[in-house]
Amino acid sequence: MIQIKNLSKLYQTKHQKIQAVDNVSLNIDHGEIFGVIGYSGAGKSTFVRLINRLEEPTEGSVVMHDQDITKMPANKLRKKRQKIGMIFQHFNLLWSRTVYDNIAFPLEIAGLSKAKRKEKVLELIHLVGLSGKEEAYPSQLSGGQKQRVGIARALANDPEVLLCDEATSALDPETTDDILDLLVSINKRLGLTIILITHEMHVIQKICHRVAVMESGKVVETGDVLDVFVKPQSKTTKRFVQQLNPLEHEKDKLSDFINDRDDSEVIKLHFIGNRARRALISEVAKKFDVEINILQGSIAPTQEGAYGTLFIEINGEKTILQNAIAYMKETGVEAEVVEHA
Ligand SMILES: Nc1ncnc2c1ncn2[C@@H]1O[C@H](COP(=O)(O)OP(=O)(O)OP(=O)(O)O)[C@@H](O)[C@H]1O
């Protein structure tokens, strides 16, 4: 487990003090994919760099497998860092070295023999799907391939933790998905703990088990990804969740499709996990004397199951309508009545 306690970073420039990370405390479990999301300037990069002490904290501690990283002397820290892999938005590859030599680099530093290096590098190249590209230079690779090299290099010394600093932000959506799939498969195959920072909720939705939302250096919300999606508490989290369903915050757009009769209600349904498979709408329509108009909906897979939202307008006699809504709530599907214009 990684225990982060009261971690803070204050930058003091000539003209101002910036509290980049402000008293952050988190526990990250072994083998989980933990996401940190925030807008630009929230303190995400600083936070992730405090974990491996690329930045020195002003206060607080980072305890990784019972070792306090913040108190380690330089030589011990150097050794420990070999067990903390890191990948970056702009890959940070050595441009004059081939794919093979980039991946071999951390193994050279760790003092592995040439034969051992070769064995490990070829295994990693296979793992990240770059077989055949051993002799290519970074300039001859696509963005996704460059990041695969970055991942292989980060895994060279069998790390306990992989830190990902906006690792997919420079990639197109399709390549982003490929890299995220690769991270999930590495997490499963190697049981590797992954901490990733991002400003995209899609990344959190697709691969994270838990998420922390950062704002002005503080963690304003944290929890299981599905819980945070269904019941976002802070304003910032709500904005991030809306990224997944951009139409949702444009409620006035919905109103174009609403009949808005006296005997109608607009309901937002949240389907979580296996409940997303239930044919709830046809069930309700058969069971109750109501009419249901589907306004809009979306569904997204997460690591903990599917998460879907559906906006419906439901018409019927008042008591029947209330009974139908109560029935939907009883099934465990979150149903909230939406105020509309
Ligand atoms: N070396 C530094 N010296 C002074 N201020 C810094 C330094 N690094 C970061 N900051 C400031 O700390 C705050 C947090 O920056 P940080 O890069 O951690 O945020 P972020 O959430 O990663 O944003 P982005 O996604 O834009 O990189 C910002 O106000 C930034 O200007």
28: CATH: 3.40.50.300
- Closest to 107 measured CA to CA, from 52, 160, 152, 157: 157
Q: How many domains does the chain have?
A: 2
The whole-model pTM stands at 0.87
Q: Give yes or no: residues 109 and 231 share one domain.
A: yes
pLDDT at residue number 296:
83
Query: CA angle, corner 134, sides to 178 and 159, nearest 5?
Result: 60
Tokens linked to 232: 């976002």
The CATH code of the domain that includes 279 is 3.30.70.260
CA distance 236 to 37: 10
Ligand 1 center–CA 61 separation, angstroms? 20
Nearest CA to ligand 1 atom 5: 11
42 CB less than 6 Å from ligand 1?
yes
* 187 plus 254 within the same structural domain: no
- If one residue of 46, 168, 199 were mutated to test the ligand 1 pocket, choosing by the most ligand atoms within 8 A of its CB, it would be 46
Q: Report d(CA 209, CA 226) in Å as an integer.
A: 8
Own/partner contacts of 12-21, CB < 8 Å, gap of 24 or more, are 19/216, 19/217, 20/46, 20/217, 21/46, 21/47, 21/50, 21/57, 21/217
Q: Which of 223, 244, 265 is the last residue of a domain?
A: 244
For 123, the domain range is 2-244
Could you read off the pLDDT of 208-266 as tens digits, one per residue? 999 999 999 999 999 999 889 888 999 999 999 887 776 555 556 666 666 666 678 88
Diameter of the chain measured on Cα atoms: 79
Site to substitute for ligand 1 among 10, 17, 18, most atoms within 8 A of C-beta: 18
Given this model, what pLDDT does residue 158 score?
Answer: 94
DSSP summary character for residue 305: E
| Gap between the Cα atoms of 277 and 306, Å rounded | 9
Q: Is 44 in the pocket of ligand 1 (CB under 6 A)?
A: yes
pLDDT tens for residues 103-139?
999 999 999 999 999 999 999 999 999 999 999 999 9
- Note whether 227 and 275 are same-domain residues: no
CA 78 – CA 84 distance, rounded (Å): 10
The reply to whether ligand 1 has any atom less than 6 angstroms from the CB of 89 is no
Q: Are strands 291-302 and 305-315 parallel, antiparallel or unpaired?
A: antiparallel
- Alpha helices in the chain, H assignment, sequence order: 44-51, 74-81, 99-109, 114-127, 143-155, 173-190, 201-207, 225-230, 235-244, 251-255, 280-287, 318-330
Q: Tokens representing 338?
A: 């939406």
Instruction: Mark whether 295 and 239 lie in a shared domain.
Output: no
Cβ of 43 closer than 6 Å to ligand 1, yes or no, is: yes
DSSP reduced 3-state for 115 = helix
Does ligand 1 come within 6 angstroms of the Cβ of 90?
no
Rg (CA), the chain: 24
* Token pair in block for residue 246: 């951009």
Q: Are residues 75 and 169 in the same domain?
A: yes
Q: At which of 216, 244, 272 does a domain end?
A: 244
Angle, CA 4 vertex, CA 54 and CA 30 arms, to 5°: 95
Dihedral over alpha carbons 276, 281, 287, 293 (to 10 degrees): 160
Interacting residues of 310 by C-beta distance below 8 A, sequence separation 6+: 268, 269, 271, 281, 294, 296, 297
Residues 111 and 210 in one domain: yes
Alpha carbon of 85 to ligand 1 centroid (Å): 21
Q: Are residues 115 and 80 in the same domain?
A: yes
- Say yes or no: 323 and 178 in one domain: no
Tell me, yes or no, whether 11 and 99 share the same domain.
yes
Q: Among candidates 176, 185, 155, 177, which has minimal Cα distance to 87? A: 155
Final residue in a domain of this structure, among 195, 228, 244: 244
Spacing, Cα 33 to ligand 1 middle (Å)? 23
User: Contact, 295 vs 217, CB < 8 A?
Assistant: no
Question: What ipTM score was computed for the predicted complex, to two decimals?
Answer: 0.97
Same domain (yes/no): 277, 211: no
In this structure, the answer to whether residues 302 and 209 fall within a common structural domain is no
For residue 41, how far is its CA from the centre of ligand 1 (angstroms)?
A: 5
Ligand 1 atom at shortest distance from the alpha carbon of 217: 14
Which residue's alpha carbon is at the smallest distance from atom 17 of ligand 1? 45
**pLDDT number for residue 31:** 96
Residue 55 alpha carbon, nearest atom of ligand 1: 1
Question: Whose C-alpha lies nearest to ligand 1, atom 6?
Answer: 11
Give the distance (Å) from ligand 1 centre to CA of residue 20: 6
Instruction: Give the pLDDT score at 263.
Output: 73
Q: Is 20 in the pocket of ligand 1 (CB under 6 A)?
A: yes
234 in helix, strand or coil?
A: coil
Give the residue whose CA is nearest to atom 14 of ligand 1.
43
Nearest CA to ligand 1 atom 4: 11
Give the pLDDT of the chain (341 residues) as one tens digit per residue.
999 999 999 999 888 999 999 999 999 999 999 999 999 999 999 999 999 999 999 999 999 988 999 999 999 999 999 999 999 999 999 999 999 999 999 999 999 999 999 999 999 999 999 999 999 999 999 999 999 999 999 999 999 999 999 999 999 999 999 999 999 999 999 999 999 999 999 999 999 999 999 999 999 999 999 889 888 999 999 999 887 776 555 556 666 666 666 678 888 888 877 666 677 888 898 999 999 988 888 888 888 888 888 888 888 888 998 899 888 888 878 888 886 55
The answer for residues whose C-beta is within 8 angstroms of residue 123's C-beta and 6 or more apart is: none
Residues 30 and 133 in one domain: yes
Helices 318-330 and 280-287: angle between axes, nearest 10 degrees: 140
